[in-house]
Amino acid sequence: MRRTPIYRQHVAAGAVFGAVNGMACPLRFGTEKMALPGPVMLADLSALPRSGLKGRDALSWLRGREVRIGGRDNIAYGQEDGSLVARLGPGEVLLLSDLKRRGAVGLRPGDGDQARAYGVPRSSGNIWFYLCGVRGSAVFAKLCAIDLRPEKFPEGAVAQTSVARLNGIIIRHDVGKTVGYHLLADFASAAYLWDVLLDAMVEFGGRVVGLDEILKLEEMSQ
Amino acid sequence: MDRLGEPFGRWIDREVRVSFTFDGVALTGLAGDSIASALLANGITTLSRSFKYHRPRGVFSHGGQEANTLVRVGDEPNVAADRVQLADGMVVASQNVFGSLRYDRAAVLGRLGRFLPVGFYYDAFFKPRGAWRVWQGAIRRLAGLGHVDPAVPRRDFDKVYLFADVVVVGAGLAGMSAALEAAQGGGEVLLLDEEAALGGGLAYGRDDAGHAVVGLVEDAVGRGDLRVMLQATCTGIFEDSWLSVVQGSRLYKIRAQAVVLATGAYGQPMIFRNNDLPGVMLAGAVQRLLRLFGVAPGARAVVATANDHGYEAALDLLDAGIEVACVVDLRPVPPDEACRRAVLDRFVRVLAGQSVWEALGRQKVTGAVIGPTDGQGARERLDCDLIVMSVGYNPVGNLLSHAGGRLTYSEAAGSFAIDAVPAGFFPAGAVNGHHDPDNVAADGALAGWRAARAAGGATDREAPAAPGEPRGGVNHPWPIFEHEKGGEFIDLDEDLQIKDIVDTWRLGYQGIELVKRFSTVGMGPSQGRHGAVATARIVARESGVAVGEVGASTSRPPFRSEKFGVLAGRRFDPVGRTPMHERHLALGAEMMTAGRWLRPAYYGRGLDRSSAISKEVSNVRGNVGLMDVSTLGGLMVRGPEAAAFMERMYCFAYARQPVGKLRYLLMTDMTGVVVDDGIAARLGDQRFYLTTTTTGAEAVYRRMLWHNAQWQMDLDVTHVTAGYAAVNLAGPQARGVLARAGADVDLSPEALPYLGVREGRVGGIAALFARVGFVGELGYEIHVPSDYGEALWDLLMVAGEPDGIAPFGVEAQRVLRLEKGHIIVGQDTDGLTIPQEAALTWAIARKKPYFVGKRSIEIQARDVTRQLVGFVLGDGAAAPKEGHLVIRDGDITGHVTSSAYSPTLAKHIGLAYVAPDQTSAGTEFSIRVDGGELVGAVVAPLPFYDPENARQGM
């Protein structure tokens, strides 16, 4: 089974794992009932499907497959199946599954190569964290020079920027009424970034949560 | 510990006592006290000793503006006692003292002042040659302020980004008015101040008119219309309105659309003999002590003034029950203002056209000598323990200067004044020369309105009324009174007197910047707050020009001293770990850094390093080893013109590289210098997978993007380093291990020969199999998606168990490749190495019309001055280290780049640059090793090991 690069940190933190997309995914932490939403919650969603595509014809290739992509860069466009397609540039997109993995975002190596739309191994190249809660932007303010406050960084906004001196892609995506941000960054620096985020969260009473708790937030808003 | 009754002592809580110690003596203060106010309340007037002469120093500004109040608190040196609030249990100690604060042995230096002229240290301690080494220790002990304790435990400091439309620096009357007005514009407004409370000068001033504004600001904060940060110091302004603001142990990086600078003005001292004694204070300090802390700064005062504010301070003293022996007004005919009349009404002696010429006393003020300002006529001695000064102000223009603004001296105002303001900045209040409260408030409101508009706020709001002209008569033009015995201090931090500035000028340092650098005036903690104007005046007098022509030295960040911890902050040093990292640790790997990565140097933590490495080498040569090479850079080059792009980017030929084959990559820059190497795997007509050196991936990626931004070739370059994990399975048993692990490709030498590459699966994991030979044995690089890296490692370790597989690290690989004569770019090449020097001409496709660096390589090929060769050492010779020099007849002809003992060959081998005529096999040359010994080496043909290349082709 695939492992997130911070699998051992999750084990040490008392994660309860479940198989998600062929990877051991932390569903919740500890044995107690899931707590109410906290001011900051951090989850490792690296088990969820994601992929990327770049090249001169990447956008048109996807549009030909009925993927909805608007005309502006640095916007994540929601799809009918719940997945997100973040337009990173005129010739690059990032595809993220929805939290329940309904979105069909899998691209195989070589897909589109003949059409100048080349696959990017986001699933193995990027870790995928999710930071949410009312103080989420305050946590990012300690790590990142972009103004990510909800009123300045609306739902669907994308920032490709430095997070704790690491290249990162931040996408505002709320779960229910909880403000949240997807964060994708270098797979090899996952442990470093996880530790940095935990450290930055301390003053806000942040805590690590599993996928089930994020899903619960979604359910609570429905 | 007597305190004045209310209304004095606004900031203290008389019910809450705070215990602390000063130089080991237990004392008590009150909650809300500054350290300095608590010390004064306990009768302690001397807080420190001066930098050079060790003169006693006490509260001067009570604004943290000079070195006088620097003390040690716990393990932290240089804490401004007049800025930091007293806390229970504080252990406070004086600094820069030899003996005790009262009896400082180093005070003898004050009597030697005439032998220690300004700049004496520039040449006094350097002759005869070597003298500095003798003097250095003593001088370093005597100089400096405070000591850093290296054993201080780690503390947390961090940095936070903040954003606002309008930032208002300074929460005095002007700043508050500006913030309130700016908030009406609808944007985000941030008001910040160094003090613990709003109000600035209102907090301790006699004028109550502006106090209501504090309530308005608090209401606005309550409504969420604006945000206030207190005890927050703006230490600098940088490009694009980037403000550095320090609050506690946190550095805020604030981006603003517009900035209001309501930074106020510094009260300026009078310059007279012994004006540095404890008991000589600025009027603002006296009023702070009285009104904020309820502390009487003395029992009998002499007030020297040239404006209303001195009379107001005198009235405050009288209200507090403190005797005012005399008010000396420097102006020959003082205006008949209400505050002056009020002082006269209280039967205080007021003298016009007079000044203080000397402060009397040794440890503190015991009296004052007053006399006519023109120096003519009799002088009078008055008993007092407090001399209060109010002779003018100078705008706090530091931050404006950081932003690109300019201040010049105004003869009319008698101080520096703002001359140029950069776009997006709006000075307001006293920094703009306003001292009348109505003008200050109006100026603040107007600045706030302008700032809001500049930040894109509401534009339909009517502009507030402009302030009136600044009221004159606040600044005395020449509050400098030279005494026949000298001792008039201009810069208290640096112990500089009038004579020092004059001597500097007379020595030829006749520009203000030169005066500053030679004399060090303004270079202490006060940064010229109290000395800049007086220095400019003295220099102007000596030069015979107007003060405005002298100017002021440039103000640079930081505005106030910053702790190293704040500057260091929360460091972010990304570390890369391969997916197999935990496996390496479990196997006892000694890790090393390689660029941003952590890699296993060798396995056997705590064991003998050399034998551990030798064991790994031998296992690869005789058996099979497994190495994590996930750190190699990975790039995908795809598209119709991928091969043509490769032809341009790399030296070798790729247009005809067959699909399923590997080819060496050698990259040079436009100067022909070797910058990277790796392997190109052609996976399709339009698809290349490339590796780079571990530390070169980002740079190679950037180069490719940079070039293709110009070439616009039809292809895409994708950086996939982190997307793939990779191992090197090497050794004669490698094929068997890979087969047992479940590789689904035909591994036979015929189907997958040396330099072949295939895509397939191993143990169900999608993988790339590449036949490589870097270490000179049958070897496979196996690349898999990163999230399967650990699974691949486990799979191979289990499969290799029957063959005695063992991991090997970077150090063993270095030996293995050295035995094979392969170079490492960056170790065996440097910033000037061209391919011909490193024996890499075989990797250049000469017939190609172009590749990056081709022309430069051809030009430089005509004059190669060194060449890389292999060498062996004679038996028993001391082993050279990498970097040791090759010496011939006393001249350097090259240097060693690689050097290691080869367990396979049982001798010491290496690579070294030598002169072109030293490259023939068998040529002997000398290497200078540690200690200067010359050891003999002999040029050997490469590779050292398996010259027929039979083993890697198995």
Q: What confidence tens digit (pLDDT) does each residue in B801-820 have?
A: 999 999 999 999 999 999 99
Nearest CB partner across the interface for B720, out of A113, A125, A165:
A125
Chain centroid to CA B874: 50
Q: B572 vs A165: CB contact, 8 Å cut-off? A: yes
Higher-scoring residue by pLDDT: B359, A3? B359
pLDDT at res. B208: 76
Q: What confidence tens digit (pLDDT) does each residue in B543-570 have?
A: 999 999 998 888 899 999 899 899 888 8
Query: By a Cβ cutoff of 8 Å, what residues of chain B touch chain A?
Result: 158-163, 253, 255, 570, 572-579, 581-582, 596-597, 630, 636, 638-640, 684, 686-687, 714, 716, 718, 720-724, 766, 785-788, 790-791
Q: How far A149 CA lies from chain B's nearest CA (Å)?
A: 10
Q: B574 vs A166: CB contact, 8 Å cut-off? A: yes
Q: A199 vs B160: CB contact, 8 Å cut-off? A: no
Q: What confidence tens digit (pLDDT) does each residue in B276-289 have?
A: 999 999 999 999 99
Chain A residue with Cα closest to B569: A142
pLDDT at residue A31 tops 70: no
pLDDT at res. B684: 94
Label residue A33 by pLDDT band (50, 70, 90). Answer: low
- In angstroms, the CA A58 to CA A112 distance is 8
With tokens 């290691």, the residue in question is B900
Q: How far B242 CA lies from chain A's nearest CA (Å)?
A: 11
CB B28 within 8 A of CB B43: no
pLDDT at residue A32 tops 60: no
Chain A residue with Cα closest to B785: A124
With tokens 């700064």, the residue in question is B297
pLDDT at res. B458: 72
pTM as predicted: 0.90
Strand order, beta sheet including A23-29: A2-3, A23-29, A15-20
Q: B788 vs A2: CB contact, 8 Å cut-off? A: yes
Higher-scoring residue by pLDDT: B355, B98? B355
Average pLDDT estimate for B493-517: 94
Q: How far B663 CA lies from chain A's nearest CA (Å)?
A: 22
pLDDT at res. A222: 67
pLDDT at res. B323: 98
Percent of chain B with pLDDT over 90: 85
Q: B572 vs A124: CB contact, 8 Å cut-off? A: no
Chain centroid to CA B380: 52
With tokens 């002088």, the residue in question is B379
Q: What confidence tens digit (pLDDT) does each residue in B670-681 have?
A: 999 999 999 999
Q: What confidence tens digit (pLDDT) does each residue in B371-407 have?
A: 999 999 999 999 999 999 999 999 999 999 999 999 9
Residues in A closer than 8 angstroms to B716, CB to CB, are 54-56, 91, 116, 118
Q: What confidence tens digit (pLDDT) does each residue in A126-171 have?
A: 999 999 999 999 999 999 999 999 999 999 999 999 999 999 999 9
Nearest CB partner across the interface for B578, out of A110, A125, A188:
A188
DSSP state of B23: T
What is the predicted ipTM?
0.94
- In angstroms, the CA B289 to CA B785 distance is 69
Look over chain A and give the mean of its residue pLDDT values, rounded to a whole number.
90
Task: Using alpha carbons, select from B496, B550, B499, B503 the residue that is nearest to residue B528.
Answer: B496
pLDDT at residue B785 tops 60: yes
Chain A residue with Cα closest to B158: A142
Window 155-194 of A, Cβ < 8 Å to B: 164-166, 186-193
- In angstroms, the CA B352 to CA B371 distance is 10
pLDDT at res. B186: 86
Residues in A closer than 8 angstroms to B636, CB to CB, are 118
Q: A141 vs B636: CB contact, 8 Å cut-off? A: no
Percent of chain A with pLDDT over 70: 91
- In angstroms, the CA A78 to CA A90 distance is 18
Percent of chain B with pLDDT over 70: 100
With tokens 């220690």, the residue in question is B116
CB pairs under 8 A between A and B: 121
Residues in A closer than 8 angstroms to B633, CB to CB, are none
Nearest CB partner across the interface for B576, out of A1, A149, A188:
A188
pLDDT at residue A77 tops 80: yes
B794-809 burial: b if 16+ Cβ within 10 Å, else e: ebbbebbeebebbbbb
User: Strand A126-132 vs strand A166-172: parallel, antiparallel, or unpaired?
Assistant: unpaired
Window 39-98 of A, Cβ < 8 Å to B: 46, 54-56, 91
Q: A54 vs B716: CB contact, 8 Å cut-off? A: yes
Nearest CB partner across the interface for A191, out of B577, B638, B791:
B577
- In angstroms, the CA B351 to CA A171 distance is 72
CB B429 within 8 A of CB B443: yes
For the CA atoms of B396, B400, B405, B410, the dihedral, rounded to the nearest 10 degrees, stands at -10
Residues in A closer than 8 angstroms to B724, CB to CB, are 121, 124
Q: No. of H helices and E strands in chain B?
A: 23, 47
pLDDT at res. B154: 85
Q: B160 vs A142: CB contact, 8 Å cut-off? A: yes
If DSSP states are collapsed to H, E and C, what string results for B820-853? CCCCCCCCCCCCCCCHHHHCCHHHCCCCCCCCCC
CB B165 within 8 A of CB B457: yes
Residues in B closer than 8 angstroms to A23, CB to CB, are 787
pLDDT at res. A34: 60
Among A148, A186, A197, A202, the residue to mutate for chain B (most B Cβ within 10 A): A186
For the CA atoms of B487, B492, B495, B497, the dihedral, rounded to the nearest 10 degrees, stands at -40
Q: What confidence tens digit (pLDDT) does each residue in B901-918 have?
A: 999 999 999 999 999 999
Listed in sequence order, the residues at least 6 apart from B75 whose beta carbon sits closer than 8 Å to its beta carbon are: B149, B152
Q: B790 vs A3: CB contact, 8 Å cut-off? A: yes
Handedness of CA B529, B531, B532, B534 (dihedral sign): positive
Residues in A closer than 8 angstroms to B570, CB to CB, are 142, 199
Q: How far A14 CA lies from chain B's nearest CA (Å)?
A: 18
pLDDT at res. B66: 92
A2 has a chain B CB within 8 A of its CB = yes
pLDDT at residue B304 tops 90: yes
Residues in B closer than 8 angstroms to A123, CB to CB, are 785, 787
Residues in A closer than 8 angstroms to B791, CB to CB, are 1-3
Residues in B closer than 8 angstroms to A126, CB to CB, are 722
Q: B786 vs A188: CB contact, 8 Å cut-off? A: yes
Look over chain B and give the mean of its residue pLDDT values, rounded to a whole number.
94
Average pLDDT estimate for B635-653: 97
Label residue B507 by pLDDT band (50, 70, 90). Answer: very high
Q: B720 vs A54: CB contact, 8 Å cut-off? A: no
Average pLDDT estimate for B450-474: 89
Label residue A104 by pLDDT band (50, 70, 90). Answer: low
Q: What confidence tens digit (pLDDT) does each residue in B245-277 have?
A: 999 999 999 999 999 999 999 999 999 999 999
User: Strand B891-902 vs strand B885-888: parallel, antiparallel, or unpaired?
Assistant: antiparallel
